[in-house]
Amino acid sequence: MAFLQTKSNTRFTVSQATASNERIAAALPEGLVAVFVGGTSGVGEYTVKAFAKYAPSPRVYIIGRSQEAADPIIQECQQLNSGGQFEFIQADVSLLNTIDDVCRQIRSRETAINIPFQSQGTMGFDKKTAEGLPLAFGIATHGRMRFILNLLPLLQKAKSLRRVVNVGAASYEGAIDVDNVPGLGFPLTKWRNQLASVQTLLLEEAARRAPDVAFVLTCPGVVKSGIMRDIAPSLGMSIMLAVTKLMAPLIETSPDECAERHVFFATSARYPASQNGPGAAGVALDGSMAVARGSDGRDGSGVYTTDQKGASSSPKVESVLAKFRKDGTAGKVWDFVVADFVRITGAEVAP
């Protein structure tokens, strides 16, 4: 059967995203609490600045490795929004035990959180963390899910928006080798496709545990960021970087477009939780768009995987994910990640 293009699965323009973002101050309450992990460069940096511009008197935590990188971002956010509170927490988020410490700090200061926004990542495929996880895979899967699980209780206490946004390779979901879940030794494209599937399946499990929270996995396209800082020198990677640099003017998403779209992903009612309470859906849609199609093919089902222009993933992706749910792959992926949580920290969630 042909894939029907409807308002729930088609792309939207950056102008539509901006129009929605400009209604945030009127539509959402003051004092939204957001946590930006990886907010000192790339998509996280662009988005936190735009969020500061639009959100009324927010409280924002920016998590990253470099105080030097964070200081000018915080200064700019404060200039954009004098009523907001912006705080940097310095941390190596490749380490699960450090993530637990960060989450304990946040839980000691906040009674509710509205938006965990995660864009941390690296292409250091040949490296491992001090806790023994493959660096690139561990940051993108274990680290992000650890933040989500630790902060879910505060998310569920939010009286308005409840939204998790993960920046990744949404819409590229593909095959998973359950005997090599981290994709060690895989070619880049195969690794990316497996990572996208793993990230989406983990978000679906989180949504089952918290159906009153919405989860969005995005794909920003080619954006200037620090994701390549940990790459080991090689001829193949050097060629890829040279080609990417040459093609950048034609394929790169601008910081402004990236920021507008990601604030929209974080705040629009296009992405509701499967069991949304009053006032929790986000900025109301204006009629030019409808509630998005979820990763399971149902409109408004709570987990969304979108391409760089905001279109819901294709029927092919839906079919791939459906197979993983049916044949037990989804459960194996979850068990794999949780086993590492327990091995490294002693518990599935930080105490």
What pLDDT is recorded for position 51?
Answer: 98
What pLDDT is recorded for position 142?
Answer: 98
2 pLDDT above the threshold of 70: no
CA atoms in the 13 A half-sphere facing the CB of 323: 11
Q: Check which CATH number belongs to the domain holding 147 and give it.
A: 3.40.50.720
Q: Which residue has the higher pLDDT, 247 or 160?
A: 160
CA distance 204 to 97: 24
181 pLDDT above the threshold of 80: yes
Strands (E), the chain: 33-37, 59-64, 85-90, 115-118, 163-167, 214-218, 303-305
What pLDDT is recorded for position 259?
Answer: 96
Domain membership flag for residue 55? yes
Asked if residue 39 lies in contact with residue 63, where contact means CB atoms within 8 angstroms, the answer is: yes
How many domains, the chain? 1
| Sign of the Cα pseudo-torsion (123, 259, 91, 333, in order) | negative
Domain membership flag for residue 88? yes
CA distance 136 to 116: 20
Domain membership flag for residue 8? no
Asked if residue 217 lies in contact with residue 118, where contact means CB atoms within 8 angstroms, the answer is: no
246 pLDDT above the threshold of 60: no
Domain membership flag for residue 6? no
Domain membership flag for residue 236? yes
What pLDDT is recorded for position 228?
Answer: 47
Residue 349: C-alpha distances to residues 8, 142, 143, 306, 338 (Å):
34, 12, 12, 28, 9
Domain membership flag for residue 349? no
Mean per-residue pLDDT, 4-32 = 89
* 253 CB-near residues (< 8 Å, 6+ apart): 220, 221, 222, 223, 308
Mean per-residue pLDDT, 207-219 = 96
Q: Report pLDDT digits (tens) over 85-135.
A: 999 999 999 999 999 999 999 999 999 999 999 999 987 888 999 999 999
- The mean pLDDT of the chain is 90
What pLDDT is recorded for position 1?
Answer: 38
Residue 202 domain boundaries: 14-344
Q: List the single range of 11-15, 177-181, 237-241, 343-347 with lowest mean pLDDT.
A: 237-241
* 217 CB-near residues (< 8 Å, 6+ apart): 166, 168, 170, 196, 199, 200, 203, 295, 303, 304, 305, 306
Token look-up 């927490």 returns: 89
Domain membership flag for residue 350? no
Domain membership flag for residue 78? yes
Percentage of residues of the chain with pLDDT beyond 90? 81
The confidence band for 273, taking pLDDT boundaries of 50, 70 and 90, is very high
